[in-house]
Chains A and B, each alone.
Chain A
Amino acid sequence: MNAADKKRLLREMLFARRFEERCYEAYVERKIGGFLHLYPGQEACVHGVMEAARPGHDYVITGYRDHIHAIKCGSDPKAVMAELFGKESGCSRGRGGSMHIFDAEHRFMGGYALVGGPFPLAAGMAKAIKLKGGDEIAICFLGDAANNQGTFHESLNMASVWQLPVLYVTENNLYGIGTRIDRSTAVQEQYKRACGYDIPAARADGQDIDAVYAAASIAVEHVRSGKGPYLLELMTYRYRGHSMSDAGAYRSKEEQEEWGKRDPIVILRDRLIAAGELSEAEYSALDKEIIANIEEEIVPFAEQSPEPKLEELERYVLAENDPYVKGGVH
């Protein structure tokens, strides 16, 4: 990564932060319904990994904390915000919502709301890539708590037996909803769990995008070169509660302050300033520009977009006009 790349990443991460903060406000204003899981604190994870991969080319899948993963893959933030507002112009036509962002065109294969659900789906996409002979890889981003699901173990086993091109990224934010990892998980170092499936793994500082990028570069290269699956654990922290339904009160003030000192955006910003690549003034101008973009372009688009038509409620349940359903094929 050169200085220009890093400045772009700073912009992307700051955008992600401001986007999610604006979602929080829209939720409080009741413009967004349902569950809302926000990403602030974890921005370096998806940005660092996808910087080492090929967004829009590699297939990405994740859980319900998915807005920023979609945007990093290339989704239009306007379509993501419109989805949160439940609009027809949303990337899932208002049928998915916050937890089910999809963008097939950019190979963002979705956010799924059953913890651990995407593990085997990612292995399956990798199987498809292998059958088709492409150079893509499948990347699955999930949290540490998902690794306590059976699907984690079943999928890592199959991915290893069949040497599938899949990268599993564990964004270890130390909490499964409100339960801290040491109270739920026997082996807390998640990368060690890959050992049971003979899958190479590494752990990196998920708050430092340079560290994420370096570790992810090795991981992506391993998977893309046909050496089979890989597990990358990124140590990170979410600033907000699990979703809007909790305030994160199960975490001590000291712990939150400690992690707050290692903010991924501040780390990169300060590094760029120290290297003389960025000034304070430039940074605050960038921030203003991002906020203006969200307020003037993204939110108005979501607000002004039409609702889905009620008469289309039953569309997309099944394929339309499938010749093998009603007959007539001989």
Chain B
Amino acid sequence: MAEIMYWEAIRRAHDEEMARDPMVICMGEDIGVAGGTYKATSGLYDKYGPERVIDTPISENGYTGLGIGASFLGVRPIIEIMSVNFAWLAMDQMFNSAAKVRYMSGGQLEAPVVFRSPGGCAHQLGAQHSARMEKVFMGIAGLRVVTPSNPRQAYGLLKSAVRCNDPVFINEHELMYNMKGEVPDEEYFLPLEGSEIARQGSDVTLFGYNVSVHWCLQAAEELARHGINAEVVDLYALAPLDRKGIRASVAKTHRAVIVEEAEAPVGVGAEVMAIINEECFFELDAPPLRVSAKNVPVPYNRGLEKSAIPNAKDVVSAVLKMFGKS
């Protein structure tokens, strides 16, 4: 098992799928000749040519719709939206065309298209380049949402997303492309529904996804020093969420903290809490908590920005408070 970077894992999935199936194409801003802002499509232009590795104009709704239209005829486009902030412009086509076409055609058409886009807060990119938008995509029937927290998931989820017959939104992270991790040498498909236990524990479940999984893992180490054995559940599938996995972990630990990089309102935390309520309320020994971003447009100033976004320390504090140890 080789250790590769997150961007290399994404690139490898592209390459394998494009080599296997001539109907797999990729498109987006600067993904071809330039190889992609995060190198996730580097080298593909030379290998597969301009008809299959398409540098698009800066027309997010237009090229997203174009990819969706191609998918109606059996093409499988992987569409990179350079930053999730720009996906607002493409949402008409993503939601009104891709997510609804199977349903409103009574099952006749489908849109097997993959949208990939980095979200999250990087370093001082300001309010219009720091959005965390998974909550928006999660609310759309007909659209699958996944979010890889490591290179293995990035590879395995893209492999599955390309072959799945539903539209899939893959929420990546600007700060994670250079993260290293082990990826199986052989082909590997991570199911588009489910969750993974990133750390076994017994006293409290920390639910994270994407970058917040790492905050949870760091917090769990710190909590161990306080005698609290935290379990970390990686909710890599956000839509639909893994109700069974959520229930199983809460039934084991009886406490839940949801950690999200996004603002709290109408978010992953709110949704997971609702699921806990519906699935296993009487398993709880304490009210579930959310650790979320402040509900502000992300500021430019470094200190303000850091204060707006949660971190491992915030997770530790929340858990200690839950246990009456703060």
Residues of A within 8 A of B (CB): 59, 61, 90-96, 100, 102-105, 109-110, 112-114, 117, 119-132, 138, 150-151, 154-155, 157-158, 161-162, 315-319, 322, 324-330
Contact = CB atoms under 8 A, between A and B. Distances in A.
A113 B100 CA distance: 12
B160 A329 contact: yes
A95 B103 contact: yes
A314 to B, nearest CB: 9
Contacts of B142: 317-318
Contacts of B69: 61, 120-128, 138
Interface residues of B, number: 53
Nearest to B69: A124
A307 B16 CA distance: 45
A93 B104 CA distance: 9
Given A123-B66, A132-B73, A158-B63, 10 more contacts: A95-B105, A114-B96, A120-B62, A121-B72, A124-B75, A128-B72, A128-B74, A155-B65, A317-B142, A324-B191
Given A121-B72, A131-B75, A157 B96 contact: no
Nearest to B95: A114
Contact of A120 (B61, B103, B164): B61
A203 to B, nearest CB: 25
Interface stretch (B4-12, B107-115, B222-230, B256-264): B107-115
A306 to B, nearest CB: 14
Contacts of B30: none
B119 interface: no
Interface in B50-72: 51-52, 54, 56-57, 59, 61-72
Given A59-B73, A315-B107, A121 B96 contact: no
Contacts of A322: 164-166, 192
Please name the 9 residue pairs, one residue from A and one from B, whose CB atoms are nearest each other, closest first.
A124-B69, A154-B62, A120-B65, A93-B106, A121-B69, A128-B73, A327-B191, A102-B105, A154-B59
Contacts of B70: 124-125, 127-128, 131
Nearest to A156: B62
A158 B166 contact: no
Contacts of B164: 319, 322, 324-325
A114 B96 CA distance: 8
B106 A127 contact: no
A104 B73 contact: no
Q: Which of B69, B93, B97: most chain A Cβ within 10 A?
A: B69
B25 interface: yes
A214 B172 CA distance: 51
Given A96-B106, A124-B65, A117 B92 contact: yes
Contact of A326 (B97, B103, B163, B191): B191
B194 A158 contact: no
A330 B92 CA distance: 35
B157 to A, nearest CB: 10
Given A317-B142, A318-B102, A322-B165, A124 B193 contact: no
B320 interface: no
Given A120-B63, A161-B57, A110 B105 contact: yes
B23 interface: yes
